[in-house]
Structures are given as structure tokens and as C-alpha cells.
Structure 1
Amino acid sequence: MSVGLRWQVSRLMARISFKLTQMDTGVRFYHQSDERAFFEWLERIPCVSSVRGEGADGLVVRLKRRPGKDDLWSLLALCHRYGVDMRQLVKFETPENRDWFRKPGMFWYRATFGDEELDSPAVPRAVRRRTPGAE
């Protein structure tokens, strides 16, 4: 790889934040075991490099790399299960995962991407109806 191309790739990677913040905001643990399960689940996701509280940023999860498909599914499931805001996961959308990640009707869709795309005429009416919260 040429020096110029390497520099462009490193600039692009610097713009992509591999940090998730406020991962504890709104989370309610019902037992010590529930809290332990939350942290153990986070730490078992292969792309996660560290999990720690960082003041105003709350619980910060740093990633070693962009999440792969299984990593992203795990993050989506964990956030859904514990009520963590999923909007920051949008930054992990790629051309490779767009077909399943942006699929209306999936349990994470509305919490991650909002309602705007569900109102599109391109989204079948049946999908709009069965999406939780859709009218």
C-alpha cells in the first residue's frame, strides 16, 4: 500500500469512532446477577477492548475494530435487552451489512434508525403495521 493511500485510510479510520458512550444510561438491574450478566456479555463480544466508567461519558465501551456481523448482533441484542440507546450504533452501518441492519420490522430498527424511513412508500404497508409502535 502506498504512503498516500495509507494516510487516507488512517484519516478515514480516525473519523470512525470505535467508542460507545452512556452505555449505562437508563439501565436497571434487578439483581446482582443481572448486572454481572450485562458486564460479562459486553466483555465477551470479540470487538470490545474495554468497558469502564468515564465521568460525563458514563459507561464507555471501546472497540478494537469495527464490529462484524455477530458483534453487531450482540450489541443490538444487549442494548435491546437492557434498554440502552441504540442510536449510536448507526455509525457501524456499512454497504456489507445494510441489507439486514436497515431492515424495517427488525426489533432494533425503530430504536436505531427512527421512524422516518418507515414512512417511505418503498416500505410495504404490512411491515409498517407489524413494526412495534407503528400506526
Structure 2
Amino acid sequence: MLKIEIESLRFYSRMDEDAFFSRLERTPGVVSVEGFLRKIIASIDRSAVDEDSVRELISLFQRYGIDMRQLRELETTEFRTWMRNRSAYWFKSMYPDQ
């Protein structure tokens, strides 16, 4: 089980917060979402994650300014080519060291 930590997230309205949690919780592979003070922990079952799930997480993390480097843990042989596409909007955020 992969645990992703989301810290210092700012919501601009109650509906903004609801939209974030709704999207995260509906993403296939996300097993649970828990909040602890100013930290959110999302537990992800790697075996239940598909390409659409990873793309949804990338999109959500990009929109809310969440550290995308954690999503590298979801890289598999199947996803490697498109995840490491240097022209993709997420590449520099996900792989800043490359």
C-alpha cells in the first residue's frame, strides 16, 4: 500500500474542498483518505491502479499544487513511457532531477 502525504493544501471554498476530496476518493486504487491536522494521507493500492487512475492523480495534484514527486511510486513498466514523456505538462514537477 502506497501512502501519499498531502500537506498545506489551501481550499478557497467549501465546495472547492468537497470537489477535491470527492475526486480523490473516486479515483480507482485510492483505498482511503484521512486527515490529520494540516496533513492528508491517501492510501493507494498499487495493484488496483490503471493508466486512467494515474492520469487522474496527476491532474488532481497539478491543479492543487501538490508535490507530484510522490506519484513516481506509481510508475510501472506499463506506464513508464508516457509518465516520463519530457514534453508532458507534469514531467518537470514529477521528475525535477532529470
- Structure-2 change in CA distance of 1:74 and 1:105 (3 Å): same
Kindly report which structure 2 residues correspond to 1:94-113, keeping only aligned pairs within 5 A, or say none: 94-113=76-95
The partner residue of 1:79 within 56, 61, 68 is: 61
Aligned length, in residue pairs: 97
How high is the sequence identity, in percent, across the aligned residues? 38
Aligned equivalents of 2:8 and 2:35: distance in 1?
Answer: 15
Aligned equivalents of 2:97 and 2:34: distance in 1?
Answer: 32
Kindly report which structure 2 residues correspond to 1:1-135, keeping only aligned pairs within 5 A, or say none: 17-21=1-5, 23=6, 25-54=7-36, 58-66=39-47, 67-116=49-98
Measured on the aligned residues, the alpha-carbon RMSD in Å equals 1.7
More strand by share: 2
Instruction: Report Cα offsets for 1:84-112 as digits up to 9, x if no partner.
Output: 00011111111111110000111110000
Instruction: Report Cα offsets for 1:34-92 as digits up to 9, x if no partner.
Output: 01000000010011110002468x21001133421011001000000000000111111
TM-score (norm 2): 0.89
Aligned equivalents of 2:97 and 2:2: distance in 1?
Answer: 25
Query: Unaligned stretches of 5+ in structure 2?
Result: none
TM-score (norm 1): 0.66
More helix by share: 1
- Kindly report structure 1 stretches of 4+ aligned residues shifted beyond 6 Å: none
Query: 1:53–1:60: 8 Å Cα contact kept in structure 2?
Result: yes
